[in-house]
């Protein structure tokens, strides 16, 4: 049995999936690993990529026809017995030293979950708000490896299965359409006292597709990010925290909206982003959740095909 598995959920992104897999072929200094590709397309479109691409590692194809990122992640976990799980998104491209560095840093820090750095890659055709888009799709942290207080997202992460991914379905499938399944998991792990690590040299590129490299998409996703803390407090029935988050959100939305209106074209996108996160903290109810994943993403790809 291989001790390390890389799970890649994918939904109708054949070119991106191939790029992600080829980046794993080029890994240097990594321990032996297997790869699980979870195809979230009801039509099973990713099978053609995994069947045609020669790779030097064990590759398992899993068809998870119910669209949703939490469902896909759970299906990938069910397909491997590996004790350590790395997640790579299908729009990410791992640098050659990525997996080896991530594993080494994870072990050195004694973490339960370790997150790597991400550089946002935006299509050349995008000019409006480009600097903010590159920052938004990236992941930034301390210059050196360290234990950190707050978690990041699931893409480009390494987790100990026993302490961080227990149970048959650790990702909440109620988040399939909205995302945030990793926020729910990491909030639970933080409450349990799990240790989070940061690996700045375990870097991947995140290639933002053209339909996501827009301020409209970024503001919807920023709003969803803002909802996370309030929703987590509501789930825990921590009314004091919920009221505090909502109050902070109201102030954040007001201050940064005014600042954005008075800002230059270069400064405004970052301030609208913060205003959207504030609105998310305030309007955290499920009726306001933007559907960015699952069937919403599938319908978009069908319209384009």
Residue ending a domain, among 179, 207, 235, is 207
Residue 169 clears pLDDT 80, i.e. is over it = yes
Count of domains observed in the chain: 2
Q: Are 109 and 195 in contact (CB under 8 A)?
A: yes
Q: 1-33 pLDDT, tens per residue?
A: 789 999 999 999 999 999 999 999 999 999 999
- Give the residue-averaged pLDDT of 106-123: 97
Distance CA 116, CA 101 (A): 9
Give the CATH number of the domain where residue 26 resides: 3.90.550.10
Residues 180 and 246 both lie in one domain: no
Structural domain boundaries enclosing 92: 4-207
Residue 305 clears pLDDT 70, i.e. is over it = no
Residue ending a domain, among 178, 207, 236, is 207
Distance CA 287, CA 183 (A): 19
pLDDT confidence of 302, banded at 50, 70, 90?
very low
Distance CA 201, CA 276 (A): 30
pLDDT (0 to 100) of residue 176: 84
pLDDT confidence of 174, banded at 50, 70, 90?
confident
- Give the residue-averaged pLDDT of 196-225: 92
Residue ending a domain, among 188, 207, 226, is 207
Residues 61 and 161 both lie in one domain: yes
Share of the chain above pLDDT 70, in %: 95
Strand partners, 193: none
Residue 296 clears pLDDT 60, i.e. is over it = no
pLDDT (0 to 100) of residue 184: 85
Residues 257 and 137 both lie in one domain: no
Greatest mean pLDDT among 22-36, 202-216, 284-298 lies in: 22-36
Residues 23 and 164 both lie in one domain: yes
């Amino acid at each position: 049995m291989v001790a390390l598995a890389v799970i890649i959920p994918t939904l109708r992104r054949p070119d991106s999936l191939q790029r992600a897999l080829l980046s794993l072929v080029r890994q240097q200094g990594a321990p032996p690993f297997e790869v699980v590709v979870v195809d979230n397309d009801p039509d099973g479109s990713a099978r053609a990529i995994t069947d045609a691409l020669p790779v030097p590692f064990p590759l398992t194809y899993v068809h998870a026809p119910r669209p949703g990122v939490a469902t896909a992640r759970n299906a990938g976990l069910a397909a491997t017995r590996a004790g350590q799980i790395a997640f790579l998104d299908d729009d990410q491209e791992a640098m050659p030293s990525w997996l080896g560095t991530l594993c080494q840093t994870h072990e050195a820090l004694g973490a339960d979950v370790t997150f790597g750095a991400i550089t946002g890659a935006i299509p050349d055709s995008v000019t409006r708000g480009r600097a903010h888009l590159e920052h938004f799709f990236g992941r930034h942290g301390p210059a050196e490896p360290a234990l950190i207080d707050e978690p990041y997202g699931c893409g480009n992460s390494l987790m100990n299965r026993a302490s961080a991914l227990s149970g048959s379905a650790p990702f909440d499938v109620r988040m399939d359409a909205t995302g945030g399944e990793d926020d729910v998991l990491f909030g639970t792990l933080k409450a349990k006292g799990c240790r989070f690590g940061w690996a700045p040299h375990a870097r991947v590129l995140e290639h933002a597709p053209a339909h996501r490299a827009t301020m409209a998409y970024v503001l919807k996703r920023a709003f969803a990010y803002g909802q996370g803390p309030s929703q987590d407090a509501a789930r825990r029935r921590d009314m004091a925290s919920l009221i505090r988050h909502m109050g902070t959100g109201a102030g954040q939305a007001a201050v940064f909206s005014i600042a954005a209106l008075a800002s230059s074209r270069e400064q405004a996108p970052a301030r609208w982003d913060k205003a959207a996160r504030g609105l998310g903290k305030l309007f955290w109810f499920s009726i306001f959740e933007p559907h960015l994943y699952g069937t919403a993403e599938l319908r978009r790809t069908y319209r384009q095909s």
